[in-house]
Amino acid sequence: MFAITILGNNSALPAFGRNPTAQVLQTNDNSFLIDCGEGTQIQMSKYKIKHSKISHIFISHLHGDHYFGLIGLITSMSLLNREQDLHLFGPSQLKDIIDIQLKVANTILSFDLHFHPLSDEGEICNTKKMTVSSFKVQHQIDCWGFLFKEKKNPRSIDIEKAKAFEIPASFYDNLQKGESYLTKKGTLIHNDSVTFAAPPPKTYAYCADTLFHTSLVEKVKGVHLLYHESTYLKDLEDRATARYHSTTTQAATIAKMAEVKQLMIGHFSSKYESIEPFLNEAKDVFENTILAVEGSCYKI
């Protein structure tokens, strides 16, 4: 599984039933929470995302619509007696904000919270099945995008065939790595005659809040799914630029230039009651576009 669930898709203010930004990337092993606007823990409960599955949290920047729900989520995890470690990535001042709020309440968390300040572009996280890299985007304040890359999966063994060739089970690990097997009689069993390739590793790029800038293109080149903010419709490009945000057309232009498989747009301004026009405008430039709709789960 490699799936994104949208918990919030709005910018700045909650409006028209839409909540501030939060997403969860779920895999078979871990869940990764990306941004955490106010009310995220309530949205998680609504959409059946388990606290206990969240192993890593990534905060793109310190505008409230991207992190005001974090302290509530962390303290709730502690009240529920979480034991497993939690890894938190974000701008360095985030630690001070959490620390002061724990301190005034005399709260000692029930689990170890490992804070990783964002400072350079590059790999920031390496789990059994995933790497995460950070890259800078251009916003009013220090702001980061994240690239999630599944590791290459091992080849799958056709057990029936492997048995037929009398390959011992002790060699199966080598088969998964792509090695061929030499029988005792000196016959070489080619790897691809007993294994088949795993599906290619999935990739997801999250571009947070950003001004339109083409230097993003190489950072998100060819990903399976690109999330690019689209705070405004195309007629408000000047406002988008002034506020370090992007329009539908600009988001779709990055997707097209980066030759991604699919584009997801979100972070809709609270001035818009309907978000449908966003989809039409983006599709005019990049057909394979979807809207970040709260509660929806997009499988990659």
Q: Which residues bind a copy of itself (CB under 8 A)?
A: 12-14, 19, 38-39, 41-42, 45, 62-64, 68-69, 71-72, 75-76, 79-80, 91, 93, 96-97, 100-101, 104-106, 140-141
CA 249/CA 232 separation, integer angstroms: 9
Q: How far apart are CA 206 and CA 225, in angstroms?
A: 9
Cβ-contact 245, 268 below 8 angstroms:
no
Place of tokens 């990783």: 116
CA-to-CA separations, 91 to 11, 63, 120, 143, 259, in angstroms, rounded: 19, 11, 11, 8, 30
In whole angstroms, how close is the CB of 123 to a copy of itself at the nearest point? 25
CB of 281 to a copy of itself, least distance (A): 24
**What SS3 state is found at 145?**
strand
Q: How many angstroms separate the CA atoms of 274 and 271, rounded?
A: 9
DSSP H or E run through 251: helix 248-257
Q: Which residue, 61 or 234, has its beta carbon nearer to a copy of itself?
A: 61
Q: How far is the CB of 13 from a copy of itself (least distance, A)?
A: 5
End-to-end CA distance of the chain: 8
**Residue 158 CA to chain centroid, in angstroms?**
32
Tokens describing residue 60: 């793109």
Active-site residue identified among 29, 35, 65, 99: 65
Nearer to a copy of itself, 62 or 290 (CB): 62
Rounded least distance, CB 41 to a copy of itself, Å: 7
Q: Check if 65 is active-site.
A: yes
Q: Which is nearer to a copy of itself, 78 or 127 (CB)?
A: 78
Least Å from the CB of residue 15 to a copy of itself? 8
* Alpha-carbon span 182 to 32, nearest angstrom: 42
100 vs 198 by CB, closer to a copy of itself: 100
State the Cα torsion 3-6-7-10 to the nearest 10°. 160
Name the residue nearer to a copy of itself (CB basis): 91 or 266: 91
Catalytic residues, which ones? 65
